[in-house]
Amino acid sequence: MRPERTVDVLIVGAGPAGLAAAAGLAAAGVGRVEVLEREERAGGVPRHCHHGGFGARTFAGLTGPGTSGPRYARARVDAALRAGASVRTGVTATGWAGPLTLDTTSPRGLERLTARAVVLATGARERPRAARLVPGSRAAGVYTTGELQQAVHLYGQHIGTRAVVVGAEPVAYAALDTLRRAGVEVAAQVTAESRHRATPWRAAESRLRYGVPLLTGAAVTELVGRGRVSAVGVRHRTGLLAQLSCDTVVFTGDFVPDHELARRGGVSLAPGTRGPAIDADFRTDIPGVFAVGNVAHAVEPAGAVAAEGWRAAVSVRRYLLSGRWPSVVRGV
């Protein structure tokens, strides 16, 4: 039925984690290293983060500016290719046909790939409105940062005129940048927490230079609007209720691992993160199956994730040489 093929290492996901693991493994000469990426372009989330700050290095306590997401993504792809890995875009791993065998779909057809080791690097997504159980109208104009960035930076789509941004993790500030770029006024940034979680500089810039008010201790209670959002209802921890009028709402952060493939493969999840449970060597409880990057934990800067990918490559290579797998995988 499906054409079958074998490779040495199959990596699912060409984000910073998967690409770094691929580069490390290919450079070490483990044989055929193949990365599957379901999008038309490799690079993962940085592909659509047009702001800077990617791969910033810290020397003697000073952090450099880093580079833009798309440039960072291209550099990671080039590094993996140069090392000799094969990066196949437009290919989705759709499910398992055996412990180390994955089925794929691409415009070229169906395939069944068996590997000596599989690395899951499928990333994470922001929790969207419905999963946050925010009640009210199902009106249009509701985004996550991921969708907003793609809409603005990859497609140049019209967004709206006035937005409320939910969340105050660093990614919320990326959303503010994107809204500004799209010419959308920001009515307010709201978070249920008592303070923001970005750098003091980022937070101050947003408030003072761009005049975006940050409402802390404020939970979004409902979305209002027919057809298009017209307001969000918020409740302050003092009990005060208010409606902020807007035509756009961006739910940011609150990351959830994209664990579908891990779960369908029978990999146990870590109770806290609901990502695959892994040990310090990125091993899951299925022999030969590793997990690395955002799929295994909430977001870290891309540079940190790529560093993990390198370390995972070392573990995978050690496994390929020894064939040893612990009988009990102890979570980190």
Partner 1 sequence: MSGAGTPGTGAGAPGTGGPGRVTRTGALPPAPTAPRSGPTPTSASAHEPYDVTVIGAGVVGTAIARELARHRLRIAVVEAADDVGEGTSKANTAILHTGFDAVPGSLEARLVREGQRRLAAYAAECGIPVERVGALLVAWDEEQLAALPALRSKAGRNGYDRTVLLDAAELRAREPHLGPGALGALEVPDESIICPWTTPLAYATQAVRSGVDLHLNCRLTDAGPAAPGAGPRTLTTSRGELRTRYLVNAAGLHADTVDRMLGHDTFTVTPRRGQLIVFDKLARGLVDHILLPVPTALGKGVLVAPTVYGNVLLGPTAEDLDDKRATGTTADGLACLRARGARILPALLDEDVTAAYAGLRAATEDDDYRIAPWPDQRYVTVGGIRSTGLTASMAIAAHVTGLLADCGLDLGEPGDLAPVTMPHLGERFPRPYQRADLIAADPAYGTLVCHCERVTRGEIRDALTSTVPPVSVDGLRRRTRARGGRCQGFSCGAAVRALLEGHDRLETR
Ligand X SMILES: Cc1cc2nc3c(=O)[nH]c(=O)nc-3n(C[C@H](O)[C@H](O)[C@H](O)COP(=O)(O)OP(=O)(O)OC[C@H]3O[C@@H](n4cnc5c(N)ncnc54)[C@H](O)[C@@H]3O)c2cc1C
**Site of interaction with ligand X (CB under 6 A):** 12-18, 36-39, 44-46, 49, 51, 53-54, 92-93, 121-123, 145-146, 149, 171, 174, 258, 261, 293-294, 299-303, 305
288 binds, among partner 1, ligand X, none (CB under 5 to 8 A by kind): none
105 binds, among partner 1, ligand X, none (CB under 5 to 8 A by kind): partner 1
186 binds, among ligand X, partner 1, none (CB under 5 to 8 A by kind): none
Closest CA to 124 of 295, 305, 303: 295
E strands, the chain, where?
4-12, 33-37, 58-59, 62-63, 86-89, 92-98, 101-106, 109-120, 124-126, 142-144, 162-166, 185-190, 214-215, 218-224, 231-236, 241-245, 248-251, 255-257, 289-291
Residue 247 identity (one-letter amino acid): D
28 binds, among partner 1, ligand X, none (CB under 5 to 8 A by kind): none
Residue number with CB closer to ligand X (275 or 288): 275
Site size with partner 1, rule: CB under 8 A: 45
Do 42 and 19 meet the contact criterion of CB atoms below 8 Å apart? yes
The burial of 222, by beta-carbon neighbours within 10 Å (0-12 exposed, 13-18 middle, 19 or more buried), is given as middle
Q: What distances in angstroms separate CA 180 from CA 105, 149, 167, 191, 279, one per listed residue?
A: 38, 11, 17, 19, 41
Piece of 10-18, 51-59, 102-110, 180-188 that binds partner 1 (CB under 8 A):
102-110
**Residues comprising the chain, all counted:** 332
The site map against partner 1 for 58-97 (x = CB under 8 A) is --------------------------------x-x-x---
Q: How many CB atoms lie within 10 A of CB 233?
A: 17
Piece of 13-21, 23-31, 105-113, 201-209 that binds partner 1 (CB under 8 A):
105-113
The verdict on 228 binding partner 1 (CB under 8 A) reads no
First to last CA, the chain: 41
Cβ 38 to ligand X shortest distance, Å = 4
13 binds, among ligand X, partner 1, none (CB under 5 to 8 A by kind): ligand X
The burial of 240, by beta-carbon neighbours within 10 Å (0-12 exposed, 13-18 middle, 19 or more buried), is given as exposed
Closest CA to 123 of 197, 219, 15: 15
The verdict on 38 binding partner 1 (CB under 8 A) reads yes
Tell me how far apart the alpha carbons of residues 19 and 24 are, in angstroms, rounded to a whole number: 9
Cβ 208 to ligand X shortest distance, Å = 21
Helices 69-83 & 16-27, crossing angle to 10 degrees? 20
What tokens were used for 147? 């969708």
Cβ 258 to ligand X shortest distance, Å = 5
Applying CB under 8 A, among 60, 155, 241, 328 the residue interacting with partner 1 is 155
Applying CB under 8 A, among 153, 202, 283, 297 the residue interacting with partner 1 is 153
What tokens were used for 265? 């493969």
The verdict on 110 binding partner 1 (CB under 8 A) reads yes
The verdict on 236 binding partner 1 (CB under 8 A) reads no
Applying CB under 8 A, among 66, 69, 146, 265 the residue interacting with partner 1 is 146
Which spans of this chain sit near partner 1 (rule: CB under 8 A)? 1-2, 38-41, 90, 92, 94, 105-110, 125-126, 128-131, 133, 135-138, 140, 143-144, 146-147, 150-151, 153-157, 221-222, 226, 256, 258, 260, 263
